[in-house]
A and B are shown apart, each in its own frame.
Chain A
């Protein structure tokens, strides 16, 4: 079964607004990653946060991790039309040799 569950499944906002996506998982992890997928393309890695980190920034991206609640959030600030894509969280389970992906959040930025 899939490790990560993402919320919401779809999100539509106006350009310039902030977008927040959430991910919950079930087991202990080494790290949690976020990926972006543009329509018809492969996934592209955005950011990785380790289990001993609580917050990480990369440009307009801010990721938080709460291991006690087994959840993470991805915040995209000052959204742009080019941010329209699907966003997936992926967990690196302790003791496992694989990443497990969530079902994704489909983000639409309206001009």
Chain B
């Protein structure tokens, strides 16, 4: 199994540009989430989804949009990139509600720099 796949691995943007970070999982997990990781800040939840068609905001949602049209995919969109969005972004999925609750499987991350 590929698990959770994130693309791209690295990205450099200019302020004001838009882009989409891709996340796909092949484990048929209902729950997917996006985090950002900054030095000394741990992981902060941006958005999450408990199933196709359902999304909700996390701790730091401003500047980011998400959608969940399929179980497998959960893209994160930056509409107008700002230097404050320079970070490492992680996507995670879990079999929410089945088995051990909320054990999350993480992708390898996307390192984003906004100049």
Contacts and interface: CB of A to CB of B under 8 A. Distances in A.
Interface stretch (B14-22, B64-72, B76-84, B102-110): B102-110
B74 interface: no
Interface residues on A, range: 20 to 34
Interface string B18-48: 0000000000000101010000111111001
A57 interface: no
Given A42-B109, A97-B56, A103 B41 contact: yes
B100 A41 contact: no
B112 to A, nearest CB: 14
B58 interface: yes
A31 B42 contact: no
Interface in A71-88: 88
Contacts of A45: 103-105
A30 to B, nearest CB: 6
Contacts of A40: 109
Q: On chain B, which size bracket covers the interface?
A: 20 to 34
A100 B45 contact: yes
Contact of A88 (B43, B48, B59): B43
A97 B96 contact: yes
B98 interface: no
A98 B33 contact: yes
A48 B99 CA distance: 12
B48 A103 contact: no
Contacts of B35: 101
B108 A41 contact: yes
Contacts of A90: 104
Given A92-B101, A97-B48, A98-B58, A42 B90 contact: yes
Most chain A CB atoms below 10 A, which of B35, B42, B90: B42
Contacts of A101: 35, 42-44
9 contacts: A31-B102, A42-B90, A42-B107, A42-B108, A45-B103, A92-B101, A101-B42, A103-B42, A104-B42
The 5 closest A-B pairs by CB, nearest first: A42-B106, A103-B42, A101-B43, A43-B106, A92-B102
